[in-house]
Amino acid sequence: MERHISDFLVHLDESLPPEDQCKLEDYVRQQPCVVGAGISVDNPHLMVIAYDSACGPAKDILYSIRDEGFRAEAIGF
């Protein structure tokens, strides 16, 4: 199957300490279809997630973040 790498921005509606930011990044990177994720150093309320759109929709990744108890919104869709 051919990969189609896309990305999207997630706004985290809460302030997370650095150790929780790392845990969230690790969790997101383990999700199906995700190829990379990182929280902005300059704005820790923003996370960029790169994923294979041929594998599944971005909303599934967002919902998995919410299912873990984080208040998050996708920006731009």
| pTM for the predicted model, two decimal places | 0.92
Q: Which residues contact 38 (CB under 8 A, 6 or more apart)?
A: 25, 47, 48
Per-residue confidence (pLDDT) for residue 1, from 0 to 100: 62
What CATH number did the domain enclosing 10 receive? 3.30.70.100
**What's the pLDDT at 3?**
81
Q: What does the chain come to in residues?
A: 77
| pLDDT one-digit tens code per residue, 21-68 | 999 999 999 999 999 999 999 999 999 999 999 999 999 999 999 999
Expressed as residue numbers, the domain containing 70 is: 5-75
Q: What is the count of structural domains for the chain?
A: 1
